[in-house]
Chains A and B, each alone.
Chain A
Amino acid sequence: MIASTRANLITLITAPTVWAVHFLVCYVAASVECAKAMADARVFTGGGWPDITTARIVIAVATVAALAAIAWSSRQAWRHWGDGDAEPPYDDATFDDRQQFLGFATVLLCGLSFIGVIFVALPAVFIGDCR
C-alpha cells in the first residue's frame, strides 16, 4: 500500500510518519539509557555524568534509515507528481490532477520531514552525556 503507483492518503503521510517514528526512537533511546544509568548510580556520588554512546549510535542508525525512507518516499512522490498532463494548481476533476496534486503535496511533506529529522538528530551530535 505504501509502495504504490497511485498516490493516496497513505503515501501522503508516509514521510511525516517516518519523522514521528524517528523522533520516538531518538527520544526513547536517549531517555532509557540516561534513566537506567542514573537509576543505577545517581550522579551525586561524585562520578561524572554517564555518557550516551549506545543511544547516539542508535540515533545515528535511525537517522540514516529515516532519511533513506523519506528519500525513497519522495522519489515515488516525484514520479506521481510527474505522472500526467495536469497543470498546477491541479484543480481539475481528473485522475491526473488528483495524482499530481497528491504527488506534489507528498514531495512538500517529504521536504519538511527531511528537515525535521535532521533537526531532531542534531542534539545527539552536540550532546554526549546525560547532564
Chain B
Amino acid sequence: MTDAALASPQDDPELRKAQEARLEKVWETPKGFRYWSAVNNSEVGIWYTATALAFFLFAGVLGLLIRAQLAVPDNDFLSATFYNQVFTLHGTAMMFLFAIPIFEAVAILILPEMLGARDLPFPRLSAFGYWSFLLGGVFVCGSIFFNAAPDSGWFMYPPLSTDHKQTGIGADVWLLGLSFIEVASIAAAVELIVGTLKCRPPGMRINLMPLYAWYVLVVAGMILFAFPPLIAGDILFEMERMFGWPFFDPSKGGDPLLWQHLFWIFGHPEVYIIFLPAIALLAMIVPTFAQRPILGYSWIVLAAIGTGFLSFGLWVHHMFTTGLPSISLAFFSAASEAVAIPTGVQIFVFLATLLAGRVIYSVPMLYAVGALAIFVFGGLTGVMVALAPFDWQAHDSHFVVAHLHYTLIGGMFFPLIAGIYYYYPFVMDRRLSDRLGKIGFWLLFVGFNVTFLPMHITGLRGMPRRVFTYAEGLGFETLNLVSTVGAFVFAAGVLVVAWDILRPKSKEPYAPRNVWNAGTLEWLSENPGRDWGVRTVPIISTRYPIWQQPNFVRDYDEGRFYLPDAEEGKRETLITSVLDARPIQCLRVPSNTFITMGAAFLTGGAFIAATFYAWTLTIGFSIAALIAIVIWLWTGTAIIPEKKEKDVGLGLKLPLYVSGPDSVGWWAMFITMIGDMSAFASLIFGYFFYWTIHASAFPPAAGVGPGQFWPAVAMALVLASWGAMLLARRANAADSPGALRFWLAGSVVLAIGGGAALLWGPHATGLDPTSHVYPATVWIIAIWTAVHLGVGVIMTLYCLARSVGRKLTAEHDIDIHNVVLFWHFALITMAVTVAVLALFPLAVR
C-alpha cells in the first residue's frame, strides 16, 4: 500500500493532527453521569467483562459454602434446604452469568479492533444486552438473600421443580430471570455474527480471518440453535407453573422427559459454547508466544466447525439413566466419542505450533499450558462417561462433578485467565504483575487438582451429588476434607488474580505498545488507548499483518488507509463483503444514548413482575418497553444520510445507505429469525414427542379441536396478509406512497384477522389447556404463531408510520425490506402451525 499512498494528503502532519482531533471528539467516551450512556464496544465490553467476573466471584463463594458444608460428615453448617439453593445457584450463576456472558463480553471487547473496525454494527444492541444481563443477573443472584433462590438443581428437572409445594418462587426466578438473559445472549450472537461476516477490514478474505473470529462465528451460530430450545422449554415450564398447563405432568398426558430433552439440547452444546471461545483465546496466545504463525490454520477451522456441529448430537448423554432404549443411547454415545476427534485436533495444533516455534515463557503461556493439562484429563474422563454402561455407575455421583469441573476449569477458566493476562495491556493500558500471576497460577493449579482429583474417587465410592451431607464410616471423610482444603487453596489463587486485576496501577508506567510482539490487528492500539478504536481501517493481505506487512504500523499511524477522518462528525466504520471483504458501505453507527438502558430495564421489569404473578405490572412494563424500543428504532436506525456517497479515502467512494441483503440490518433480521425458527421447531418437536409416547390420546380421536375450518381460514388470511406486504414493497419501489400505505394497512387488517381465526379454532372447539397435554400443546403453538403475527402487525404499523413521516421512501427502504423478510418467516411459521395442528391429526387417524 505504500506505493499508492506515496503522494497522499496524509503526508501533511497538520492534517493528520486535525483528523485525529476530529476522530477523538466523535468517539470520545462521555464523562460524568453520561458515562453510563456509552454504547461503544470498549466501554460496554469492559462493563460486561467486569460484571461477569463479579458474578464468578459470587458463584465462587457459593462453591466454597458447598465445600465447607461437605468438609466433615453430618455437618450442620448449612441446612438441607439452603444447601439446595446454594448448589443450584452456584451452577446457574457459573453457567448463565459467568461462562456464557464472558464469551460475549470478551468478544465485544476485542473483536472489533481485531477486525480493524471502529465498532460492531449494532453498538446499541450490545448495550441493551449488557443492561439486560446486569439486571437479570442481579435479580437471579439476589434471590438467595431473601431465601428465595432456585433450589432444584441448575437443570430444574420437573416434576420436582413444577411442584409449588416443593419449590417456591425460586423456580420462577430461574425461569424468567434466565429467559431474559438468554434473549440478551441471542442479541449478542446476532451482533457478533454480522460483525464477523460484514465488518472485516478490506482485503481480509475468509482465509485471512484471525482464528478468534472463526471461533466467534461458530459459537454465535451455535447459540442460535442451542438457546431457543431452552427458551421454548422455559415457556412450557412457566405455563405449567403459572396456569397448570400439564406439559410435564404424566397424570394428564405430559412427560417430564420432554423438559430434559429441551434442556440438554441447549445444555450440551452450551458446554462447547463455553469451551470454544476460551480455546479461541489460546489460538491467539499460542502463536504470539511461539513467535510464529499458527501451524494448521485449516485444521483449527475444521475443529471449530466440526465441534460446533457434533456438539448437537450429544445431549442424551446427560440422560443415559432415564430408561431410553439402548439404541437411542448408543447414537449419542457414538457421537460423544466422535467429538473427541476435533477436540483433540485443536490440542495437537497448539502443541505443533509450540514445537515449531521458539517459545517465550510468560504468564499467559503458563496458564495456557495448565489449561491444556487439566482439560486433557477432563476430556479423558469425558470419554469414560460417554460410555453408557460406565455412566450408569458414575451418574449423579461426585465422579461427574469432578469430570465437569476438569473440563470447564481446564477448558474455560484457565484459558480465560491466560486471556486476561494477555489482553489486559490492550484493554487497560498497563501490564498485570508477572509475580502475582505466577503465584496465582500455582495456587489455582494445585488447589484445583487437590479439590477435584480426589473427587473422582469419592464419586466412585458412591457419594451422590447434590446431597447436603453424608454419614460417617462410608469412606468419604478424608477425601472430602482434602477436597475442601483444595477448594480454599484455589480460592486463594482467585483472590491473588483478582487483586492483581483490581489493585490500583495509576502510578505504574504504561505498557509498551504491542507488549507481546503479537501479529494481529488489535495490537495496533496505543497505550494509553484512544477512544476511536482504530486510527484508520487498514487494508489486509496477510494473517499476521503486524509481522508480515511492511511499514504496516507506520502507514496505520499516519492514517494511510480508509476512513482516516470524521469530517461530518459521525461515527463510521466499513462494511465489506462476506468472503472477500470487498468494501461495500460506509456504515454510520449510532452513538451514546440512555434509551437502550431504559429499554433493557423496562423489559426486565416485565419479566420480574411476571415472576411475582403481578400481571397488571407485567403488562404495564411490556407496553413501556415496547414504546422505548420503538423510540430507539425510530431515532437510531435507518437514518437518512445527508448525502448519498462518501469518499472513504484512497479514492474510494462508498454509499452511506444500503438496504435489502446488502445491509447489516437485513442480515441481523435473517439471523434472528433463524434463532426464532429453532425455538418454534422445539415447540413442534414437543408436539411430535407427545405423539410418539401416546398410543392414541395424542392427537385424540376425531371431533376434538382445533378442527380444520378455522385453521384454514387463518392460513388464507395470513397468506393474503403476506401477499399484501409483497405488494407494499413493490409499491414502495415504484415510489407510490399511497399504494404502499394502502397495502400496509390491508396487511395489518388481514394479519389481525388471521391471528384471531387461529386462536378461535381451539377456543370454538372447547379445548381446555389445563385438562390434558394435547389441548395445552395446541394452544401453545397457536399462541406462539399468533404472537408472531402480532409482532408482524407492529412492524407493519411501524412501516406505515415511517412512510407517513417520510422516513420510508423508494430510495430509503431499509424498513420495508426487513419487515417483509420477517413476514416470510411468519408465513413459514403459520404454514407449519396449520399443517401440524389441523392436518396431522387427519393423517394419523
Contact = CB atoms under 8 A, between A and B. Distances in A.
Interface of A: 8-9, 12-13, 16-17, 19-20, 23, 26-27, 30-32, 34-36, 39-40, 52, 55, 89-93, 95, 97-98, 101-102, 104-105, 108-109, 112-113, 115-116, 119-120, 122-124, 126-127, 130-131
Interface string B297-331: 11101100110111011000000000011111011
Given A23-B313, A34-B325, A36-B692, A120 B342 contact: no
Contact of A19 (B203, B309, B333): B309
Nearest to B197: A9
A31 B298 contact: no
A105 to B, nearest CB: 5
Contacts of A17: 309
Contacts of B695: 36, 39-40
Contacts of B297: 89-91, 101
B326 A101 contact: no
B542 A89 contact: no
Given A9-B578, A16-B309, A115-B338, A123 B327 contact: yes
Given A91-B207, A98-B579, A116-B335, A31 B293 contact: no
Contact of A127 (B298, B327, B341): B327
Contacts of B325: 30-31, 34, 130-131
B840 to A, nearest CB: 14
Interface of B: 203, 205-208, 293, 295-299, 301-302, 305-306, 308-310, 312-313, 324-328, 330-331, 333-335, 337-338, 341-342, 540-543, 578-580, 692-695
A55 B333 CA distance: 18
Given A97-B207, A131-B326, A35 B298 contact: no
A109 B338 contact: no
A34 B328 contact: yes
24 contacts: A12-B305, A19-B309, A30-B328, A31-B328, A89-B293, A90-B298, A92-B541, A108-B298, A108-B301, A108-B302, A109-B302, A109-B306, A112-B302, A112-B341, A115-B338, A116-B338, A119-B338, A120-B331, A120-B334, A123-B331, A126-B330, A127-B326, A130-B327, A131-B325
Given A97-B207, A120-B313, A127 B330 contact: yes
Contacts of B692: 31-32, 35-36, 39
Contact of B330 (A91, A113, A123): A123
Given A9-B578, A102-B207, A123-B334, A20 B328 contact: no
Contact of B298 (A23, A104, A120): A104
Contacts of B208: 91, 93
Contacts of B207: 90-91, 97-98, 101-102
Given A116-B335, A120-B334, A9 B327 contact: no
A32 B337 CA distance: 24
A91 B293 contact: yes
Nearest to B549: A93
B299 A8 contact: no
Contacts of A113: 306, 309
Contacts of A16: 305-306, 308-310
B343 to A, nearest CB: 11
A124 B326 CA distance: 10
Nearest to B695: A39
Given A40-B695, A90-B298, A30 B312 contact: no
**Interface-central residue, B330, B333, B578, by most chain A CB under 10 Å:** B330
A35 B579 CA distance: 45
B694 A39 contact: yes
A63 B541 CA distance: 42
Contacts of B579: 8-9, 98
A93 B693 contact: no
Given A39-B695, A40-B695, A93-B208, A27 B310 contact: no
Contacts of A89: 293, 295-298
A12 B313 CA distance: 19
Contacts of B206: 9, 98, 101-102
Nearest to A37: B325
A40 B473 CA distance: 48
B132 to A, nearest CB: 30
Contacts of B341: 112, 115
Nearest to A24: B313
Given A30-B325, A97-B205, A116-B335, A105 B541 contact: no
Contacts of A35: 692-693
Nearest to B342: A112
Nearest to B301: A105
B338 A101 contact: no
Contacts of B309: 13, 16-17, 19-20, 113
Contacts of A116: 310, 313, 335, 338
A112 B342 CA distance: 8
A24 B587 CA distance: 41
**Interface-central residue, A13, A89, A95, A115, by most chain B CB under 10 Å:** A89
Given A89-B295, A92-B541, A126-B330, 10 more contacts: A19-B310, A35-B692, A36-B695, A39-B693, A89-B298, A92-B542, A93-B203, A105-B302, A119-B337, A127-B326
Contacts of B334: 119-120, 122-123
A40 B695 CA distance: 6
B200 to A, nearest CB: 12
Nearest to A126: B330
A98 B521 CA distance: 20
Contact of A13 (B205, B298, B305, B312): B305
Sorted nearest first, the 3 A-B pairs with minimum C-beta distance are A123-B330, A101-B207, A93-B541
**Interface-central residue, A20, A31, A102, A122, by most chain B CB under 10 Å:** A31
Contacts of B308: 16
A1 to B, nearest CB: 13
Contact of B299 (A97, A108, A119, A120): A108
A101 B313 contact: no
A19 B341 CA distance: 15
Contacts of A130: 325, 327
Contacts of A104: 298
Nearest to A38: B325
Nearest to A122: B334
Nearest to B581: A93
Contacts of B333: 123
A20 to B, nearest CB: 6
A60 to B, nearest CB: 14
A79 B298 CA distance: 17
Contacts of A112: 302, 306, 310, 338, 341-342
B578 to A, nearest CB: 7
Contacts of B295: 89
Nearest to A30: B327
Given A101-B207, A112-B342, A20 B313 contact: yes
Contacts of B541: 92-93
Contacts of B338: 112, 115-116, 119-120
B28 to A, nearest CB: 34
Contacts of A90: 207, 297-298
Contacts of B542: 91-93
Contacts of A122: 330, 334
Contacts of B326: 123, 127, 131
Nearest to B324: A31
B298 A105 contact: yes
A106 to B, nearest CB: 9
A113 to B, nearest CB: 8
Given A9-B578, A89-B297, A119-B335, A124 B327 contact: yes
Contacts of B327: 30, 34, 52, 55, 123-124, 127, 130
A116 B330 CA distance: 13
A17 B414 CA distance: 32
Contacts of A101: 206-207, 297-298
A32 to B, nearest CB: 5
Nearest to A49: B325
